[in-house]
Amino acid sequence: MKAFSYEKPTDAAAAAARAAEVEGAKFVAGGTNLLDLMKLQIEAPVHLIDVNGLGLDEITETDEGGLRIGTLVTNTTLMADDRIRRDYAVLTRAIAAGASGQLRNKATTGGNLLQRTRCPYFYDTAMPCNKRAPGSGCGALSEGAFSRQLGVIGTSESCIATHPSDMAVAMRALDAVVETVTPSGNTRQIPLEEFHLLPGDTPEQENALMDGELITHVVLPAPVGGVQSYHKVRDRASYAFALVSVALIRQPDGTGRVALGGVAPKPWRSAEADAELPNGARAVIAKLLEGANPTEENAFKITLAERTLAAMLKEA
């Protein structure tokens, strides 16, 4: 790990201003992903701004009937909240499907959205990776590479990494909005749909945040009802990243919403695919994964997504 200095501010706008001002600064909240990456020197901040003193750890009700989740609310607190369990069950199910009990006690809402990919070529600093070392190439697309876990859609010739979050997949299905404060003290609202960026030829740019901008809250719109479920398919029964995960909200009339995890650089959902829900899993996945560009090793994910959704529709 590289040496760094440390501070713990108490004001969100001041924290954002400091992050923009100090070269090589980074925010830390739960730290469960950042510390992991700092030990490998994949991340090497020279200054850490600890945001745990900002008081952004409450879940409050909005005037619109939704919930406003402070960025420091832990995964455990969020998934166990009575209002989330009752009105946004897909979110409880998604968070419970991710990580371990110890990690969920520490990991935060904002940090979960900002976690980095678990692509093995990103993690292995002896391998090329355009996300970690722009311009060095993509190890996952090299001859004989292991790409079974990686993305099938929204990827590029530069990068086929997936976004690893389960929580974000449910939040995408719920039309969540990310609230931020900028270094100049302004607040901004970014729909989750626009928060994560596709890699294109700049896979190192993963989200819409500007330098120093700090996530303060994630807002959930008023409950949409329906039967809500989250199904995660993985190589172990617990504590593993998704091969494919499906967030489903199904209304009594057969309409609803579908978002996929484990297949793309961001939670994957489209209005056109949602509209196919009354026509069944095959129609939804054909639309949602239209134009997919899988590798030989991970083409199974397309069939797996369809079968997972089909199984969920039988139960919903």
Partner 1 sequence: MPPPIEFQVRRRTLLAGSAAAAVSAGFTGKAGAQSGATPAGSETTTVSLTVNGEAREVTVDNRTTLLDALREHLQLTGTKKGCDHGQCGACTCSVNGNRVNSCLSLAVMHDGDEIETIEGIGTPEAMDPMQTAFVENDGFQCGYCTPGQIQSARSVIEEIRAGIPSHVTGDLTAEIAITDEEIRERMSGNICRCGAYSNILAAITQVAEESA
Distance CA 285, CA 133 (A): 34
Min dist. Cβ of residue 36 to partner 1 (A): 5
- Asked if residue 15 binds partner 1 (CB under 8 A), the reply is no
Q: Give 134 or 278: the residue with its C-beta nearer to partner 1.
A: 134
R_g (Cα) of the chain, nearest Å: 19
Contact residue for partner 1 among 238, 252, 253, 296 (CB under 8 A): 238
Min dist. Cβ of residue 28 to partner 1 (A): 7
- Asked if residue 50 binds partner 1 (CB under 8 A), the reply is yes
Q: How many CA atoms lie within 13 A of 250 on its CB side?
A: 22
Contact residue for partner 1 among 9, 128, 200, 221 (CB under 8 A): 128
- Asked if residue 126 binds partner 1 (CB under 8 A), the reply is yes
Q: Give 286 or 311: the residue with its C-beta nearer to partner 1.
A: 311
- Asked if residue 193 binds partner 1 (CB under 8 A), the reply is no
Contact residue for partner 1 among 146, 204, 280, 307 (CB under 8 A): 204
Distance CA 288, CA 283 (A): 9
The count of other CB atoms within 10 Å of the CB of residue 68 is: 18
- Between the two ends of the chain, the Cα-to-Cα distance in Å is 48
Sign of CA dihedral 194, 111, 246, 293: positive
Q: Which residues pair with 245 in a beta bridge?
A: 232, 261
**In terms of residues, how long is the chain?**
316
Q: Give 108 or 273: the residue with its C-beta nearer to partner 1.
A: 108
In one-letter notation, the amino acid at residue 94 is A
Q: Which residues bind partner 1 (CB under 8 A)?
A: 1-8, 22-25, 28, 31-32, 35-36, 39, 41-48, 50, 52, 76, 79-80, 85-86, 89, 92-93, 96-97, 99-103, 105-106, 125-129, 131-133, 136, 204, 236-239
